[in-house]
Amino acid sequence: MAASDHHQTPTLPLLIKFHDVEKGSSTVEPHTLNSTKTTSFLTTTFNGLNALSGVGILSVPYALSSGGWLSLILLFAIAGTTFYTGLLIKKCMEVDPDIRSYPDIGHKAFGPKGRLLVSIFMNLELYLVATGFLILAGDNLHNLLPDVRIDVFGIVINGRQSFVLLVALILTPTVLIDNMTTLSYISATGVFASVIILASILWSGMSEGIGFRHKGVLLNWSGLPTAFSLYAFCYCAHPVFPTLYTSMTNRRHFSGVLFVCFTFCTFAYVTTAVLGYLMFGGELQSQITLNLPTDRLSSKVAVYTALITPISKYGLMLKPIVETIESHFRSCCEKRFYGLFVKTGLVGSSVVVALTLPFFGSLMSLVGASLSVTASILLPCFCYLKISYRKIGIESAFIVFALLMGLVILVVGTYTSFLEIVHSL
């Protein structure tokens, strides 16, 4: 989630509406933006920042501590590569004005199988990022209130598990809301939350007695796979780039939108990572908010602001999945009871996964290494090669570099993250 909370993630932009469109396939995919071109450069930039910024800002200090100072080179490499693959998505969409979503690009390149493949990776990534929100909220609330427990009919639930359940109950209404305009305005708070978190971390280091005393290590080879995966998670918003592009009044300026968004988010990620590593060194936990002293005002501001992210993003994360399920079972889901069952079932299943895999860092690393890399690096390259690439030149070197980087992160990062989760069980 990029990691890209990828990502993190891929969060959905402001002013989003969903509608179903059937294009050359029996599979009906949810599209994520009104087809009318109404957004300006500034509005689209804000939407892009909302898509790129997320829970990745909490995990990027841990990524730096895992790989060491030189791993920042990897962050810049991933930022540049994902910016370039974002431009490839733009080029793919310029070929056919009927392309309005990421699955549409997959269909244009590889037919119905391409649409299905892109949909699977996109929806699975959204589901796991939403699950990561529950883990994030549970960890931070338990850190602030370690003695809280829930007693339900004699069954006592202690620790972070109780907070995961409480947060899921609070977030369920956002999943049940069908008015996407309402949900999208709620999600806009995530952008401001990232800025507040960064300011709170700086405040903690400067005025709360923590300081910036740790020197860290130059390079930690064993931690590079984890760092690579978490950095990739920070730039996982590519599935929503087509919706941003189609919404613009002047689409020629979309490259500028991407440049501003990637520059701003990279600055925020690097600043947070450096501050966190100087403050806590190798003792950094999977979320920097877990390192902050709970009795300090700045720490409480950072933690409570971090909790805004799940509230603002959770419903929008699951909405495309709900739309996909309902499109396949339309006759049943037209009845209100079945629609309610689908939505609450998704929330319940994500709670089960969050309780089973309570390892935020490892889960986000796995999502970044497998799903985010596939959706943000590999698929844009393959689709572009199939749709519009016609000659061999300097662009070939960029595409080969992007594919090699993506494959390395996919194989090594997924293997390392999977082992970390298994060993933690």
Q: What's the pLDDT score for residue 241?
A: 86
Task: Identify which of 309, 374, 314, 369 has the alpha carbon closest to the alpha carbon of residue 343.
Answer: 314
Q: Residue 227: inside a domain, yes or no?
A: yes
Q: Residue 7: inside a domain, yes or no?
A: no
Q: Residue 4: inside a domain, yes or no?
A: no
Task: Tell me the per-residue pLDDT of 9-35, one tens digit each, with 9 for 90 and over.
Answer: 333 334 333 333 333 333 334 444 344
Q: Residue 185: inside a domain, yes or no?
A: yes
Q: Residue 139: inside a domain, yes or no?
A: yes
Q: What's the pLDDT score for residue 29?
A: 41
Q: What's the pLDDT score for residue 36?
A: 45
Q: Residue 14: inside a domain, yes or no?
A: no
- What is the reported pTM? 0.77
Q: What's the pLDDT score for residue 133?
A: 81
Q: What's the pLDDT score for residue 154?
A: 62
Count structural domains, the chain. 1
Q: What's the pLDDT score for residue 132?
A: 82
Beta bridge partners of 20: 30
- Count CB-CB contacts under 10 A for residue 325: 20
Q: Residue 12: inside a domain, yes or no?
A: no
Successive 10-residue mean pLDDT values, the chain, 425 residues: 40 38 38 51 77 80 94 95 94 86 89 90 84 82 76 68 85 72 60 84 82 89 90 85 82 90 93 94 87 82 79 73 71 62 86 80 78 91 86 81 92 85 73
Give the domain range for residue 231: 19-424
Task: Please say whether the beta carbons of 125 and 371 come within 8 A.
Answer: yes
CATH of the domain at 28: 1.20.1740.10
Q: Residue 3: inside a domain, yes or no?
A: no
Helices (H), 281-393: 297-306, 308-328, 330-333, 336-356, 360-367, 373, 379-387
Q: Which long-range contacts (CB under 8 A, 24 or more apart) does 111-119 make?
A: 111/24, 111/25, 112/24, 112/25, 112/26, 112/27, 114/383, 115/25, 115/27, 115/29, 116/27, 117/379, 118/375, 118/379, 119/27, 119/29, 119/324
